[in-house]
Chains A and B, each alone.
Chain A
Amino acid sequence: MSARIVHIASNTFREAVRDRVLYNLIAFALLLSGAAIFIGQISIEIERLVVVNLGLTAVSLFGVVIAIFIGIGLVSKEIEKRTLYTVLSRPVRRWEFIVGKFFGLAGTLVVNTFFMAIGVFAALLYVAHKFSSSDAFILVALYFIVLEFLILCSLALLFSSFSSPLLSAVFTFALFIIGSFADDLRGFAAMTHGIARWFATAAAYLVPNFSALNVISAVAHQQSVGGQVVLQNSLYALFYSAMVLSGAVLIFERRNLK
């Protein structure tokens, strides 16, 4: 990775921290500790299930919000503040700017997820009093959540490269929703015929499949996640992010910034 990309990524990370993005960790800690302490008193026999489900869902949703709301402003804010011109007047290529921004945002989310993961395991230790070997599967779920963030970051950047922040937020969030229903979309495609089937199938494969990356329920029940699933999902997220990022670069390269 070129030094210029690393610089842009680290600046993006610093900017996110300066914007007090990591403050969400406080809300997360309060949510989890509250759930861990109180849920045993208002429900029956699901303390561990709640901590894992709530913890991982919160990691995912907090990250999705951060990815969308920071990602959509990554390009447009630079244009608005006119700092983009300063950056591009130096020996920085447009694709390096996009890729640097992507890694900066992804880094922010990884750091955020790391601290949240510590919170999840601390809450789990509080309710279960000890760890079991199957708790390691929670790490797989967290890894899949990070993969989901990579795809979302790239999508937010793609929309940010050609539209306004508001529209970018709407598009990215809409794709997050559609991607959560990706399996249903495939089921729908299987039920149709003719040209509709082609369109539905194409749409089902084109939208990100977030349901394949969601193993929260399985790990909450201490079920294992196969090595092949981990490998295939990793490759899928990698290629999908690369595809979207390439699209963002293509658009941004041709965008008239005057």
Chain B
Amino acid sequence: MTSRRSTTTVAAICLAVSMAASVLLLHRVDEIRPRANIEDALYISSPKMVKRASLGFEGLMACIYWTRTVQYFGDRHAHGSRSYNELAPLLEITTALDPKMIPAYQFGATFLAPAPPNGAGEPRRAIELMKYGIQHNPDNWHLYYDLGFVYYTELKDYKGAAEVFEQGSKVPDASPYLKLLAAQMAEHAADYETARMLWTATYESSKESNIRQNAIEHLRAIRVDEDVTRLQEAVNRFEQLNGRLPATIWELAAAEHLRGIPVDPDGNPYVLSLDGQVQIAKPEDFPFVTKGLPPDYKPSGLPKFHGNS
């Protein structure tokens, strides 16, 4: 009995020590070898082959591939990568396995379309993906909306966007926004109001926190772009009237009879540069603005998101 007890004790200690040692060693090996690349793990790139190999359990396989897609994009995005070579093949496999998996189209287009570092910079493949999604889910108005969105934001193809919004508006139970957007695209595509309407529709039609947050950031950026445009016009007016540039933003505010110093959505006053350019004080807080950026400003990696607008 004593012998058995001592054997048990020694075996238990051996087990614990060996386990701890193997975990520690694996950790060390991970540190010294080059970072494992998920790209290398895409052994089968043919959607048909993966579908065959799933033995009829395509649904589960699609979930696995979708999770891999999210992990692939998230990992590369987090490391500020500008290359997403396997993103489109992963999305193609996912949607071939389960053509009804709507999040793969909606988020997939969001991953594929925007220019790096916010996305893969492949709007054409995003459009192909969305068209495949619509082909298999013709009654889902969200897909028409997202496709029109890619045409509008990434390709500035307002005619294409208008056509898709129009098609989507005919889907039963489609959001009334689609009809409005189709009309808006035809006449006022480049207006801030149209962009605001698009992002408001995105915010209101999605329950996903990341999408809503992204919409908030774009709505903030639209407000800044509008403010900067308006203030820049005020600067030009001031120069025409006085023959010189306003010395400070305070002088400009006084000349325009503004109630106070113009501020951005975070409450920081806009800045007036020496050459009369209206700029935002903290450009890193507005990753999607197109106006008011200092001339030498370069975005530093990932967009910084905020809790509210």
| A interface with B by C-beta (< 8 Å) | 39, 42-46, 49-50, 52-54, 57, 60-61, 177, 180-181, 184, 210-211, 214, 216-217, 220-221
Q: How large is the interface on B (under 10, 10 to 19, 20 to 34, 35 or more residues)?
A: 20 to 34
Q: Are A177 and B58 touching (Cβ within 8 A)?
A: no
Is A42 within 8 A of B67, CB to CB? yes
**Is A46 within 8 A of B63, CB to CB?**
yes
Q: What are the nearest 9 A-B pairs in CB distance?
A: A217-B59, A53-B59, A45-B103, A43-B67, A53-B60, A57-B60, A180-B56, A214-B56, A57-B57
The contact string, 1 if C-beta is below 8 Å from chain A, for chain B 52-77, is 10011111101100110011000000
B18 sits at the interface (CB 8 A): no
* B101 lies within 8 A of chain A by Cβ: yes
Docked-complex contact B70 and A43, CB < 8 angstroms: yes
User: Looking at the complex, which one of A42, A54, A184, A216 makes contact with B70 (CB distance below 8 Å)?
Assistant: A42
A44 adjacent to B208 (CB under 8 Å): yes
| With A217-B98, A221-B100: A46-B56 Cβ-Cβ less than 8 Å | no
Q: Are B210 and A53 in contact (CB under 8 A)?
A: no
> Mostly helix, strand, loop or mixed at chain A's interface?
helix
User: Which one of A44, A46, A177, A216 lies within 8 Å of B57 (CB-CB)?
Assistant: A216
B52–A49 CB distance below 8 A: no
Q: In the complex, A210→B98 CA distance in Å?
A: 19
Once A50-B63, A53-B60, A54-B63 are accepted as A-B contacts, the answer to whether A45 and B107 lie under 8 Å apart by CB is yes
Bound-complex Cα distance A39 to B101 (A): 16
Which residues of B (161-189) have their CB < 8 Å from a CB of A?
A: none
Chain A residues positioned under 8 Å from B210 (CB to CB): 44
A-B contact pairs, 28 of them (CB 8 A): A39-B63, A42-B67, A42-B71, A43-B63, A44-B66, A44-B70, A44-B208, A45-B103, A45-B107, A45-B208, A46-B63, A46-B67, A46-B103, A50-B60, A53-B63, A54-B63, A57-B57, A61-B57, A180-B55, A180-B56, A181-B52, A184-B52, A211-B56, A214-B56, A216-B57, A217-B58, A217-B98, A220-B59
